[in-house]
Structure 1
Amino acid sequence: MRRSIATVSLSGSLADKLTAIGGAGFDGVEIFENDLVSSRMSPEDVRHRAAGLGLAVELYQPLRDFEAVPPALLERNLRRAEHKFAVMRRLGATRLLVCSTVSPDSVDDDELAAEQLRTLAERAAQHGIQIAYEALAWGRHVSDYLHSWRIVRMADHPNLGLCLDSFHILSRDADPYAIETIPGEKIFFLQLADAPTLPMDVLYWSRHYRCFPGQGDLDLPGFTAHVLRAGYDGPLSLEIFNDIFRQAAGMRTALDAMRSLAFLEETVGERLGGSAASLAPPPPPVVPTGFAFVELAVPSTAAPGEQLSSLGFVRTGVHAGKPVELWEQGGARILLNTGSPESEDGPALGAIGLESPDPAASVKRAEALLSPVLPRTRGPRDAPLDAVAAPDGTELFFCRTRHADHSSWTDDFTEGRRDPAGDAAEITRIDHVALTQPWHHFDEASLFYRSVLGLRPHESLELPDPYGLLRSRAVSTGDGAVRMALNVAYAGGPSRAPDAARQHIALASRDIVATVRRARAAGAAPLPIPDNYYDDLEARHDLGAERHRTLRELGLLYDRDEHGEFLHFYTATSGRVFFEVVQRIGGYRGYGAVNAPIRLAAQHAVPGGARPL
């Protein structure tokens, strides 16, 4: 199917928007009236620029407050419409969006609305233009798509049909199943927008929180499947109103938009099965099976590995051609890179290796979803290892570690020092990685990990900290082999700036008490937790006196859910990075979110408490 987007969805001038939309590979564009009115480009200029970028002008919008009005106002509205028809001829547009009225001058009279829309359609037909009537969720008299369809049927004109907008329908909890009863040829246009579930006025919700498919909580695949089953064969078009997109770079937003449509076509295709021939889904996802490694950029002047040693890691290899060390414990692998420019301000998380059943297929999937392979300097003997960039700049490598049928990245490392103490392997693997996102990339990141990697999104949380709020959303594989927590600090002043850049690596321990005692013996005490926390914990949970004493003594935090228990502690921050050690008991599925405010307050209270890695 053709893919389209409304110019209102991007930031910048109309010329910039068209360039970004064409550059992202869209087939068509909706021209939003305000973008044209404020542009120095003539309608002919817009038409020619769009054509040169391979874009069809699919729709001109909107004509507001038209129907069910007194005769004198109808004449003024028809005059407005004739002017728009003239502009549309110059643009090369053949569809006009008409929104259901919100005018206080209108009356609740379906027959009058139908009669006046028929008059409009008759005028439009003389210019070769179709009228797509849309029920606004906040329309004064018409706010439901079935109501708008009733009026279109009453008008009974071939140049009058419907525009179906996913937000206007799903935000009202209307059942979209009845869309399948509407003849496909009477659905003139389809607009798509997702949104997070928020308890607020629908107009404010629409203007500030719409997002691309896959970034919110609405059932866009189900909605779109109903429209296609009805026989609609026009473009899939995005219409987004969002404060973040209005401030983001247009090209980046357009690429994210295209990724969302490709992912939507895939999920709709799964719903439709064999009847989805018109869709063009990307190659199937290759879900990662675990973490191969996490790479940290560390200053060359630091003593690499000191904190890792205190946690029981040992250096097991040195890269043959790069200043990179491999540190291991159990199945957890940490790379320390002293040659990266990112290390100037202290350790920083720069790359994540993901175990892939088929690295080449993982790359094809990423490229199809507009995440190209990053250029990389590779020595003649280096293992072939491709990476793509996550929205925050973190490099994601697709690996097969120590498999007989695939070259392993570990072969690039010569054997280094081994310590018999490391054989205890209390730490068994990397449990999860928490990545702090730039505030304007959060929704993009959620879609990226969901679409490119096939991870499942979890509920979005808002966590208090002493200086504002932290928004967090976890994504994971179904079995929990790969878990990532995406965080963004979106409230607070300049004092939050140092914290907004923090990343952390959570390590799974089979005996967290032994791990914390080892760390303490090595001089690396966990992040100090106030006694008040443990007083409150005793009030909330009866864990037995001895267990409470152990938690308090060792600085361990506690959580539980219906599946099991969770013990964890945090190290001091070094540069931008800190470690978390966790032990999941039973089938605990969370991330200790209830304790995040305690951690944040403790980190604020210990400035400069960093230790070398």
Structure 2
Amino acid sequence: MKTNNLKFLNLVLLGGKTEQKLYAACKAGFDQVEIWREDIQNNSKGLSSITKLAIQKGIGFTNLQVLRDFTGIPNGQYIQKRKELRQFIHIAQAIGCDAIQAPASTREDCLVDKIDDDLRWMASEAIRYKMKIMYEPMAWCSVDNTLPLAWERIKRLDQPNIGLVVDLFHVYALGGDALQLDDIPVDRIYEVQLCDIAEKPPKDKNSLINIARHERQLPGKGIIQIDCFIDKLKSIGYRGPIGIEVFNDKLKCLPPEEVAQQAWTALNNYWP
């Protein structure tokens, strides 16, 4: 049975120039892409060519990635981070994107007492431009490194335009499972990123980062019990974007159209 969820591909999976990657994702069948600021900055034809191609091909943008370590910034650095957020908003607006991905802090010197205030400011600034903030708990974050922890913060802050990124890698890397979704209202899940891993990763930070950024697998190529996760999403009535985020050095070396088609097939095996 066909669902109404928008299906996306994170462009990090594909090699080639930005326009090649957009074209490959569109040809494969994806409704949207997650695009990186670097995809835009490194595009030799400029920002307007990306916008024009997206309009021509009818492909949208799930989010603009990735605003790193915004929260809990030590005193004296927050001004630069706020400027960076505004730059992200400007780029997102230019390409017709309404969401920015901002993971939880990975800094060891993160000022935990400032996180709530920083997130409130981010939300208030973003909502002025009708932007959503996708807050992602990553396995190596110094705070909010699991879905339950990240949800507790978002629930407490009660900002209408901050929601969660659910990334299977980060859930399973720390021993979590689909039950972590039980207490999260479905409308506060802003997107779901599917992937797989060949084996259970060590929990030390460097190993997690290496596997996450270089050795993820397409869904169905590893050990994650993706079916359990999919069943849970369907049982709670998830209707948001669902897609593929796979960092894989070997796949990135293959022709982008070939890899995008593999990703499309893998996604539809789990979410027709």
What does 1:419-498 align with in structure 2 at a 5 Å threshold? Answer: none
C-alpha distance in 1, partners of 2:77/2:225? 39
Q: Which has the higher helix share?
A: 2
* 2:147–2:180 Cα contact (<8 Å) kept: no
- CA shift, 1:77, in A, is 1.1
3-state SS of paired residue (1:173): coil
Q: Which amino acid aligns with 2:135?
A: Y
What does 1:269-308 align with in structure 2 at a 5 Å threshold? Answer: 281=272
Would you say how many aligned residue pairs link Structure 1 and Structure 2?
Answer: 264
What whole-Å deviation, never above 9, does each CA across 1:174-222 have from its counterpart, x for those lacking one? 1321303211111112111111114442111111211111111111221
Q: Which amino acid aligns with 2:199?
A: T
Q: Does 1:29 align with 2:33?
A: yes
- CA shift, 1:71, in A, is 4.2
Equivalent residue number for residue 250 of structure 2: 244
Equivalent residue number for residue 228 of structure 2: 222
C-alpha distance in 1, partners of 2:102/2:231? 24
3-state SS of paired residue (2:164): strand
* 2:190–2:241 Cα contact (<8 Å) kept: no
Equivalent residue number for residue 94 of structure 2: 90
TM value normalised by structure 1 = 0.42
Q: Give the root-mean-square deviation of aligned CA atoms.
A: 1.5
Q: Does 1:12 align with 2:7?
A: no
**Distance verdict in 2 for CA 1:227–1:78, change over 3 Å:** farther
Q: Which amino acid aligns with 2:172?
A: L
**Distance verdict in 2 for CA 1:163–1:199, change over 3 Å:** closer
Q: Using CA pairs below 8 Å that are at least 6 residues apart, which structure has the higher relative contact order?
A: 2
Q: Which has the larger radius of gyration?
A: 1
Structure 2 gaps of 5+ residues are: none
What whole-Å deviation, never above 9, does each CA across 1:267-325 have from its counterpart, x for those lacking one? xxxxxxxxxxxxxx3xxxxxxxxxxxxxxxxxxxxxxxxxxxxxxxxxxxxxxxxxxxx
C-alpha distance in 1, partners of 2:235/2:75? 39
Q: Does 1:53 align with 2:57?
A: yes
What whole-Å deviation, never above 9, does each CA across 1:134-192 have from its counterpart, x for those lacking one? 00111012211111111111221101111111111111111321303211111112111
Pick aligned residue for 1:157 from 156, 159, 175? 159
Q: Which amino acid aligns with 2:81?
A: N
Q: Which amino acid aligns with 2:128?
A: Q
**Distance verdict in 2 for CA 1:23–1:102, change over 3 Å:** same
* 1:180–1:227 Cα contact (<8 Å) kept: no
* 1:181–1:230 Cα contact (<8 Å) kept: no
**Distance verdict in 2 for CA 1:49–1:240, change over 3 Å:** same
TM value normalised by structure 2 = 0.92
C-alpha distance in 2, partners of 1:118/1:28? 28
**Distance verdict in 2 for CA 1:70–1:199, change over 3 Å:** closer
What does 1:528-567 align with in structure 2 at a 5 Å threshold? Answer: none
Q: Which has the higher strand share?
A: 1
* 1:60–1:88 Cα contact (<8 Å) kept: yes
Q: Which amino acid aligns with 1:118?
A: R
Q: Which amino acid aligns with 1:42?
A: G
Pick aligned residue for 1:210 from 211, 216, 231? 216
- CA shift, 1:250, in A, is 0.4
What whole-Å deviation, never above 9, does each CA across 1:355-374 have from its counterpart, x for those lacking one? xxxxxxxxxxxxxxxxxxxx
C-alpha distance in 2, partners of 1:220/1:208? 20
Structure 1 gaps of 5+ residues are: 266-280, 282-613
C-alpha distance in 2, partners of 1:41/1:188? 31
C-alpha distance in 1, partners of 2:201/2:158? 38
Equivalent residue number for residue 176 of structure 2: 174
C-alpha distance in 2, partners of 1:32/1:193? 18
* 2:214–2:249 Cα contact (<8 Å) kept: yes
3-state SS of paired residue (2:85): helix
